[in-house]
Structure 1
């Protein structure tokens, strides 16, 4: 039932047509309104009946079309997953909102992102956190995302190309960690680099995946909660 509800929402967005490129401000607002409207009906699955205004503001102000190939600009603000090449995707905006919400990011936080991809989720985190550290293993995507983030002025983002399985020990510990590709199990290095009291959101599994929320207690033990079934690209390692 959980999977069918999410699928119904996704299919509904595919039925809407492309928009003119010059109408992006309106399209962003409509996208966020759709995300808001989805929260309450899906609260039984996600545990979130209403999104934090900070998350909604970040979505409203972040130009998703800038993180996509130009030919996809007309569908940039549809609530759907889109291809960014190299076998990778930019996540559905609702899932971006959900993962950002689950992290509970504060403006004093240091956040690690594994899987920069297009850089769109990075930009959302940049609007919420003090510092964002992001790792992408595919060099072409890493370079493109880094250039777009720099051009748009996301000055609190530090990016590198590499294997995210190892985390980024140089800047650990992190208040929050987000993973945007699905490993078969949670990388131990990420658990180690999560600050006590911190939260990690990560899809875990093979063909069938669950979006997991992992919280680290003050004594270092972790609590894992399955939030909702999802489908992400597989986690790539060196």
Structure 2
């Protein structure tokens, strides 16, 4: 029997062996919603000038397509569109689509997590390495291979660890309480010492060029209790994902 899809407002994890992606047009934004969106976006940029209104992919739907098989509908938007999520009653808002990587350490199987730096959209928040999905060129499609490439790039940019996309295994789809959907890839085990070494080299290189790294700190967790013990906030799917990882013996 297929496990049920998470309900709206519910955090959920879905094991996935096959993921089919279908593009759809972004919904039309009524003038009143657009005005509210623009105002909230400008306020966000004033609070954090590092934000930019670049192209990004949103999730327009998630459905079953058979056992461990999902269909994900996506649409082209920009980061500004995310402000619609804070407009009461907005009808044109779409949740975010992101990729993330579960990177285990060889030593004891704990998963690497990072705390986002002050220059990001979610300063101080702990999460797995990953980020938003950029849309392909007009007329081009989006598939699992493209998501895997995005995930490998995010892992390198945030931790300094070079991993070939072919080494990342499609593992889970996570749905956050706010409706955002994340495609989770599982990376091969690496020694914790290597992960710390690569991250230290990355942060030193960024500092030498006058840039803030995307992650200001990394840690390793293997239980929801260790997640709860992190200093600061963390993404809502992190505790359930760590529990699932341990229970599955991955």
Length-normalised TM-score, structure 1: 0.32
Structure with bigger gyration radius: 2
Length-normalised TM-score, structure 2: 0.31
Of structures 1 and 2, the one scoring higher in RCO (CA 8 A, sep 6+) is 2
Query: Between Structure 1 and Structure 2, which shows a larger proportion of helix residues?
Result: 1
